[in-house]
Each structure stands twice: as structure tokens, then as C-alpha cells.
Chain A
Amino acid sequence: MALYQYSWLILFAPLCAFFVIVFGTRMWDIFSRPRAGAASVHGDASTAHASDAHGATGEGHGEGPVQDQEYDDDPTVPSLTMGARVSGYLAILIMGLACIYSWVIFANTLVTPIPANINPIFTYSWGVPGFDIAFHLDNLTVVMMVVVTTVSLLVQFYSQGYMGNSAGYARFFAYLSLFAFSMLVITFAQNFLVMFIGWELVGLSSYLLIGFWINKRAKPEELRPSPASAALQAMVTTRIGDVGFIIGIMILFASTGTFDFTQLASRVQGMDKAVLAIAMILVFCGAIGKSAQFPLHVWLPPAMEGPTPVSALIHAATMVAAGVYMVARTFPLFLAADPAAFAVVAWIGAFTALFAASIALAQSDFKRVLAYSTISQLGYMFVGLGVAGPTLGPGPGMFHLFTHAFFKALLFLGAGSVLYALHHATHKEVQDMRLMGGLGPKMPITAITWLIATLSISGFPFFAGFYSKDSIIELTLTEAHNWPLYIITLFTAGLTAFYMLRAFILAFGGKGGKVFGLWGGTYRGVGNPKESPWTMTVPLILLAIPSLLAGYWLNFYTYLSPKAPGINLADVFTSPFTLVGVIVAFIGLGWAYFLYGNVELAKLNAIVQGNAFLRTVHRILYHRYYIEEFYDLLIRYVVLGLSHLEQAFDAYVVDGIVNGIASLITTFGRDVRRVETGRVQAYMVAFFGGVAVLAVIVIALVTFVRG
């Protein structure tokens, strides 16, 4: 009981870490810094490259020679200050405690269910009933809480290595803590208001973290924006969805008079199904923005410009998971609405899954492949939520979120490990897979853990992703009886397997390597990359375990909704759907292996460039269907055109009215002030004249009107 009652400590722990770093250790550091800052901020022998001096000034005015225009990263420091170190340790310690506590709670819920009378675990009233800040704890919260704290902890631990010489080290940990807190607010929210607060906090934290390297410039030749503009794009794009979200909340509140999820679930039964469906679709717009679904997916790939641990956090546990979690949380409301609401969820999910997976096929940037794979996998989660129906509840979608969190965090942290190694080997930022290859033997831990995650996301049998993804694909037929959805999700599964193994082989293997090209091969870059330090490999190993085993939580569905049946392993392995799914996954994997493990990359490029059809397809996919260019044109000509019109309206009509009235009054006042002569007798004449006129009027009225 008390164990559950104090679970709000998990929620506030990261916030506490944030404030302690911002107002405590960071301040201490700033005040204890030697006055002559020049000595302390320069690259040392171990990390110094010629270009470091440019980035190391911190203010953006390079005193050193700008030799490499491309390298304008984050300012670096030779060694971390005491305050920065303490900040990192503190954030990790607090997150570690929160993580342990959430695992204890989780283990306890498996034994004894959460008693109903503990909710809400924390309330703060504004004094207006119905608008409370309230947090509650149920099984759905526990699942998400475990994911968020675990992934945040590992990401923070990993960041010790990855951000090791960053001048913004303490700031980075403060932001990571704030991010974890924001997501936990959404996780614990008992009503829409609190969820919306968390929702916007997540947006803010992701903005701060994506734009962490504020001095970095755009790289147009690689289609990469600057982190600052990527952060802005994330903020603005998700805000478009948030408009729908808040309108949906308002419709719900206007119809039922409550924000509380539990009360809403019972009160919406009396609502008109069509109105409820519209409200829920509007609420889902928020999820489309946050979880980067089709029309609003454009912010997620540019968000790769943030530090890689941030990408891992955004993609695994926090930002994009918020949308899925929100739909899972409002699942009863969607169920009560017209089936159209869930159909929209499922179809947007399915379309996005296919769309993003097809783009991922042709991307050459290591992290972008992962970005599109996240968008695609989120699509799966929405399909899972959309087709599950009343019995299974949010189980299938959340199960995929749960397993995906681990292997996607692993994929990103692994990618970060590769980028870190390449950065140290080449002194440049290398993200292009065409400049990798054969890294397997050079960095075995990263490669093996990455392979595990790759197989997991591809739906290779016995890995975590296999159970969660195949059950969603199967549900499209068994629950929704929807053949088009089944075919789309199945085809996408094949694509997923293809592009993930492609990325693996491009980075870690290649023709001429061992194990038929999966291991080793020629390294196409420069320098000699080495395995990353232990602070980075330990989280990879720890994440590899749930990437393998998370799928064996067989009664996950029952855990979330008591009526739902668990997964039966015997059924899974005898089902024809599984067979089809595995075959499709193997086709995808085999195809990728055949193309990239057997053929030289240069030769493959030549083939694609030689064929007009393949070249066009590759171009379209490489440019992401030109959606971003389309949005650019749309905003540049349509939105900006409209705003020019409005600007003209404002300048000429609105300002004209206001200024016209003002000048009229000015003229009037300028002329009429002559009346004020300052001569007392003139006033007297006016006064008595007025009295005389009034007297005449009164007499006339008395005589003629009354008489």
C-alpha cells in the first residue's frame, strides 16, 4: 500500500534532479570558474583536432583558425569540471533510484494487483473542483513508468561517455532529467489537463535537446538542417497536432463536464457516437503530431540532428511514445465512439508504417534509417491499438511499444557508439553509411548488440519484436478482418527486415567479410575506429537482454486489461499467420543479405543508377517523396501569401481605421482648444449664455409639453 502511495516520488525525482543541476551544481561551477576563461576551454592533446579551437570558444566567435568549415559542433572542453561531473552523477543516481523503485513496484504488481483505493496518489487542487493536478497509478502507468525510467537511466549512463567532453555536459543532464519528468507527468496523469501539461513539457524538453548543439550549421548537401532549425521544426510541427488535441479535449469537456479519464470513460457512454468520434479523432491529431504519423512525420528525421542519446530517448521512451500511450490511456473513449475513430487510427498507422518503411529503404544516413524505422514501428503500434477491440484492449499496441522501447533504444545507442568511434577515428562527423562498413570486428560489442536489435525489430523468431509485431499483424485479420491492413502491415514487415539488415551490413559487414559478409569486410572510411568506452557499451549490453527477452512476458495483455487472454506460445508457433510473418521477415532479411552482403556497394550503386526506373524510384525515396519540399512550397507560397494578404489588411484597413479616428480627434482638438482663452469674462458669458439657453428650453418644455 505504502509502496504504491509513494510512487509519485518516481515522478518528482527527475524534476528534483533538474532543479538541483540548474540551480545547484551548475551555479556552483559557474561561480567557481577561474576568471580567465581562456585557459580552461581549449582542446587537449587526446581529443584535440585542428578544428577544435573553433568550436571551443563557446560564444561562437572562433579565435582559432577555421580550417574545417564542416566541423562546427558543440564546444568541447579538455576535461569536465567538478560541477559538471557531479551533475552527471547526481542525475544518474536519482534516475537509478527512481528506476529501482519503479521495478520494485512493477514486480509487486505482478504478485498483488494495485488496490483501487490508492488513486489518486497525488493531488494538488487549484481550488476549482474538476481542475486538479492529479496523478494516478494503474498497470498501464506501471508499464510506461518502467520503460521511461529504465531507458532514461541507460541513456543517461551512456551519455557519460558520449557527451564526455561536451561543454554543455551539466546542461545536457538537466535537460535529460526534465525530459524524463515530462514523460512521467504524461504517464501518471489522471486527467486530460495534466496530460496536456506533460504533453507540452515533452515538446519543450525535446526542443531543448534536439537543438542542444546550437552552434552547428546546416549541411544542405546531406539534406541535413541545423539543430536549431530542426528543434524549431519539431516544436512547430507537433504544435499543429496539438491544436487538434486541445480542441478534442474541449469538446469532451463541453459534453461531459470532466477531464478525468475514469469519469470520462463512464460519461461518454451517453454522448452522441459521431460527436465522440470527431472529438477522439481530434485528440488523435495530437498523437499524430507527437508520434510523427503521416502528415506530421516531417519533424522526426530532422530531429536526428540532436545528440544521439537524445534520439534514443525520444524514439524509445519519451516523445513519440507519448502519442501511443495517450491513445492507450483513452482507449475506452475510442471504444465508446463510432468505429470510424479507431479505423482512422489504424489506417493512419498502417499507411505511415508502409510509407516510412519505404523511405527508410533508400536512406544513406545511419540515424535517418532508424528515424524512419521508428515512424514505421509507431505506425504498427497505432494499428495494434486501432484493431485490438474491446477484449484485448490497449494490450497489443502497448506490447509493441514496450518491446520497441528496448530494441530501438539499443539501435540508437549502438548507432551513437558507431558515430562516436568514427568521430574519434576520422575527426569528423560521419553519419553516412557509405563511409562505414566492416566495423563488426573493430567494435564487436556494438555490432553484436546491434544485430540482436536488428533481428528483434525485423521479427526474427524468438526475439522480442517477433512476438509483439506478429501479433499486431495477426490481429488485423483475426480481430478486424481487414485484408488490406493485413497485407500492408505484412509487406511493411518485410521492408523492415530488409532495411534494418541493410543498415547492419552497410555499417558492420560487407562483401568479403566473415559469416557470408555479415561480419567484417572492407571499411570504406578513413582512420581506424575502435570500440567505445565501457560507459557506452554497458547500456548496450543491458538493453540487449530485454531486446531478446521482453517478448516472453506472455500475459502482457492480461496485465493491462483483465479480460484479455495472454499469449500462448504453442498457439504462436502453430499459427499459419506466424509462419507467413516469419517467411516474409526471412524474405526481407535474405534479400538485404543477398544485395548488400554479396555485392560491392559501388557495384550496387552502378546498377541502380544504370536503370532508369530504379534510379527514379531511388531518387524519390531518397528525397522522402519530396514531402518536405512540398511543405516548403506550401508554406512559402500559400501560407506566406495568405499572411501577406493579412498583413496588408492589417496595415491598410485596421490601421487605417485606428489612425483615421486618431487623426480626426487630433484635428478637432487642435482647432477647438482656441475656445480656451483664459479670460474669465469669456467663460462667464458662455456660462450664463448656457444657463439662458437651458432656461428657455425648460420654460418651453414646461409651457408646451406639460401644457
Chain B
Amino acid sequence: MLTLNHFLVLGAILFCIGLYGAISKHNAIAVLMGIEIMLNAVNITMVGFSFFNQVKPFSTYLTGQIFAIFIITVAAAEAAVALAMIIAIYRKRDTVDVSEIDMMKY
């Protein structure tokens, strides 16, 4: 029997994996992937809450699922923009190592 807790724990585990990847990886694409995992962890949580809170009226509990769809859409756009930036940075600096991209420091 699947309960809400399963969804939440899965979401939390995925979020932590994504966070670890985003923080620790040097490759910008790996960082991007970590971020995608974090977004999807949130999606799972959203859908889980939505599914286990089916109360009247209809539109109220659907919010979570619609929100998840929005996040997927935004994530797609974000991935496109981020990849474009990574390519641009690569062309300019010959690297995609985020620890070397620190032009904005003091």
C-alpha cells in the first residue's frame, strides 16, 4: 500500500541527490542535471500531495498536478537556456568547469 510518506521520502531522497550533484560537480552540464533532479523531486512531492488530498471541489486538489506540469514546462525552457549559455561560455573560455567560471567575484 503506497502512502503519502512514500512519495515524500522519494521526493526528499531525489532532492538530496540532485542538490549533492549540483553542489559538488565541476562540469556545468552535471550541475544542470542535478538541478533537473531537484525539480523533479519537487514534482513528485506536488503530485503526491495532490493525489492524497482529493477533496471537493475538484479544482482545489488539481492545483498540485497543474503546478507539476508547469514546472516541467519551465524546466524544459530552463534547460534550453542553460545549455545555450554553457555552449556560449565554452566557446568563450574553453571550459565548462563551474569552479573556473568566477568572473563575478569581488
A-side residues, CB < 8 A to B, are 673-674, 676-681, 684-685, 688
The reply to whether the CB of B59 lies closer than 8 angstroms to some CB of chain A is no
Q: Please encode chain B, from 2 to 34, with 1 for each CB lying within 8 Å of some chain A CB and 0 for all others.
A: 000000000000000001001110000001000
A678 nearest in chain B by CB position: B105
Q: Which residues of A contact B98 (CB under 8 A)?
A: 679-681
Partner of B22 from the list A673, A677, A684 (CB cut-off 8 Å) is A684
Q: Which residues of A contact B102 (CB under 8 A)?
A: 677-679
Question: Contact: A681 with B99, CB < 8 Å?
Answer: yes
Q: A684-B23, A685-B23, A688-B19 are in contact. Are A678 and B103 (CB under 8 A)?
A: yes
Q: A685-B23, A688-B19 are in contact. Are A680 and B105 (CB under 8 A)?
A: no
Q: A684-B23, A685-B23 are in contact. Are A676 and B99 (CB under 8 A)?
A: no
Pairs A–B under 8 Å by Cβ, sample size 26: A673-B106, A676-B104, A676-B105, A677-B102, A677-B105, A677-B106, A678-B102, A678-B103, A678-B106, A679-B98, A679-B99, A679-B102, A679-B105, A680-B31, A680-B98, A680-B101, A681-B22, A681-B23, A681-B24, A681-B98, A681-B99, A684-B22, A684-B23, A685-B23, A688-B19, A688-B23
Question: Contact: B106 with A674, CB < 8 Å?
Answer: yes
Shortest distance in angstroms between B29's beta carbon and chain A's nearest beta carbon? 14
Name the prevailing secondary structure of the B interface residues. Answer: loop
| Complex-state Cα separation, A680 to B22, whole angstroms | 10
Known: A676-B106, A678-B103, A680-B31. 11 other contacts (CB 8 A): A677-B105, A678-B102, A678-B105, A679-B101, A679-B102, A679-B105, A681-B22, A681-B98, A684-B23, A685-B23, A688-B23
Q: Please encode chain B, from 71 to 106, with 1 for each CB lying within 8 Å of some chain A CB and 0 for all others.
A: 000000000000000000000000000110111111
Q: Which residues of B contact A681 (CB under 8 A)?
A: 22-24, 31, 98-99
Shortest distance in angstroms between A600's beta carbon and chain B's nearest beta carbon? 93
Closest 9 CB pairs of A and B: A678-B105, A678-B102, A678-B104, A676-B106, A673-B106, A679-B102, A677-B105, A681-B23, A684-B23
Name the prevailing secondary structure of the A interface residues. Answer: helix
| Complex-state Cα separation, A688 to B19, whole angstroms | 9
| Complex-state Cα separation, A622 to B1, whole angstroms | 120
| Complex-state Cα separation, A547 to B101, whole angstroms | 98
| Complex-state Cα separation, A673 to B105, whole angstroms | 9
What class of interface size applies to chain B in its complex with A?
10 to 19
| Complex-state Cα separation, A246 to B101, whole angstroms | 68
Q: Which residues of A contact B24 (CB under 8 A)?
A: 681
| Complex-state Cα separation, A685 to B22, whole angstroms | 10
| Complex-state Cα separation, A477 to B46, whole angstroms | 106
Q: Which residues of B contact A673 (CB under 8 A)?
A: 106
| Complex-state Cα separation, A674 to B31, whole angstroms | 24
Q: Which residues of B contact A684 (CB under 8 A)?
A: 22-23
| Complex-state Cα separation, A673 to B104, whole angstroms | 12
Q: Which residues of B contact A685 (CB under 8 A)?
A: 23
B35 nearest in chain A by CB position: A684
| Complex-state Cα separation, A676 to B23, whole angstroms | 17
Shortest distance in angstroms between A436's beta carbon and chain B's nearest beta carbon? 84
Shortest distance in angstroms between A677's beta carbon and chain B's nearest beta carbon? 5
Q: Which residues of A contact B104 (CB under 8 A)?
A: 676, 678
Shortest distance in angstroms between A513's beta carbon and chain B's nearest beta carbon? 96
| Complex-state Cα separation, A175 to B43, whole angstroms | 86
B99 nearest in chain A by CB position: A679
Q: Which residues of B contact A679 (CB under 8 A)?
A: 98-99, 101-102, 105
Q: Which residues of B contact A677 (CB under 8 A)?
A: 102, 105-106
| Complex-state Cα separation, A681 to B98, whole angstroms | 8
Q: Which residues of B contact A680 (CB under 8 A)?
A: 31, 98, 101
Shortest distance in angstroms between B9's beta carbon and chain A's nearest beta carbon? 16
Q: Which of B31, B102, B103 has the most CB of A within 10 A?
A: B102
Shortest distance in angstroms between A637's beta carbon and chain B's nearest beta carbon? 55
Q: Which residues of B contact A678 (CB under 8 A)?
A: 102-106
Q: Which residues of B contact A688 (CB under 8 A)?
A: 19, 23
Shortest distance in angstroms between B55's beta carbon and chain A's nearest beta carbon? 23
Shortest distance in angstroms between B41's beta carbon and chain A's nearest beta carbon? 13
Shortest distance in angstroms between A674's beta carbon and chain B's nearest beta carbon? 7
Q: Which residues of A contact B23 (CB under 8 A)?
A: 681, 684-685, 688
Shortest distance in angstroms between B65's beta carbon and chain A's nearest beta carbon? 25
| Complex-state Cα separation, A617 to B57, whole angstroms | 113
| Complex-state Cα separation, A678 to B24, whole angstroms | 16
Shortest distance in angstroms between B18's beta carbon and chain A's nearest beta carbon? 11
| Complex-state Cα separation, A677 to B101, whole angstroms | 10
Q: Which residues of A contact B31 (CB under 8 A)?
A: 680-681
B15 nearest in chain A by CB position: A688
| Complex-state Cα separation, A679 to B103, whole angstroms | 8
| Complex-state Cα separation, A691 to B87, whole angstroms | 31
| Complex-state Cα separation, A685 to B34, whole angstroms | 14
| Complex-state Cα separation, A688 to B106, whole angstroms | 22
Shortest distance in angstroms between A372's beta carbon and chain B's nearest beta carbon? 75
Shortest distance in angstroms between A294's beta carbon and chain B's nearest beta carbon? 69
| Complex-state Cα separation, A677 to B102, whole angstroms | 7
Shortest distance in angstroms between B47's beta carbon and chain A's nearest beta carbon? 22
A680 nearest in chain B by CB position: B98
Q: Which residues of A contact B106 (CB under 8 A)?
A: 673-674, 676-678
